[in-house]
């Protein structure tokens, strides 16, 4: 075997090892997130205007993720990320639902999904979720312990 043949073999083995390692890390991440989470797509809400958004703007910024409820926090983890902590944390005392709508035809969400526009002190987000997840999210927002107030209001 020539030296160039050995170099090619070594490079292929290293590339295969790196790909295998990345696949294992991704699989571990998905398994961790799937335990006890709900499927929610999230994006930073685009600026509102009177004009209808273009199809490209409708699709821009959406990320698939898994959310978990932890006390007064709704922790959202991006599925494709390798970050160990949540990417977005919504505090129940700080969330206000300002709009509710069905997905636009150009948005690629599951049939029957609802898109919520939620305002917090850290920004405005759009969350796309199925009916069962929406029921749980609304119940979680409304179930604040007595004596505390929240900015929660139902969008009309």
Cβ neighbour number for residue 77 with a 10 Å cutoff: 21
21 confidence band (pLDDT: 50, 70, 90): confident
pLDDT at residue number 15: 94
Q: Give the tens place of pLDDT for each residue, 53-105.
A: 554 555 568 998 889 999 899 999 888 777 778 899 999 989 999 999 999 88
19-to-28, 29, 99 alpha-carbon distances in Å: 14, 15, 43
pTM: 0.70
**C-alpha dihedral over 95, 101, 107, 112, to 10 degrees?**
100
Q: Which helix (H) or strand (E) holds 155?
A: none
Cα 20 from Cα 143, distance rounded (Å) = 44
pLDDT tens track for 109-131? 888 899 999 999 989 999 999 99
Secondary structure, 3-state, 64-125: EEEEEEECCEEEEEECCCCCCCCCEEEECCCCEEEEEECCCCCCCCCCCCEEEEEEECCEEE
The Cα–Cα gap between 65 and 80 comes to 8
């Amino acid at each position: 075997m020539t030296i160039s043949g050995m170099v090619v073999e070594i490079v292929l083995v290293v590339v295969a090892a790196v790909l295998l390692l990345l696949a294992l890390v991704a699989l571990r991440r998905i398994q961790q997130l799937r335990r006890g989470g709900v499927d929610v797509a999230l994006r930073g809400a685009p600026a509102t205007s009177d004009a209808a958004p273009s199809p490209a703007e409708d699709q821009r910024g959406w990320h698939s993720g898994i959310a978990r409820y932890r006390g007064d926090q709704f922790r959202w983890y991006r599925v494709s990320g390798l970050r160990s902590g949540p990417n977005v944390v919504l505090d129940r005392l700080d969330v206000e639902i300002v709009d509710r709508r069905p997905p636009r035809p150009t948005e690629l969400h599951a049939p029957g999904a609802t898109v919520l526009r939620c305002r917090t002190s850290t920004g405005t987000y759009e969350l796309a979720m199925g009916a069962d997840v929406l029921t749980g999210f609304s119940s979680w927002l409304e179930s604040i312990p007595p004596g505390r107030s929240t900015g929660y209001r139902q969008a009309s």
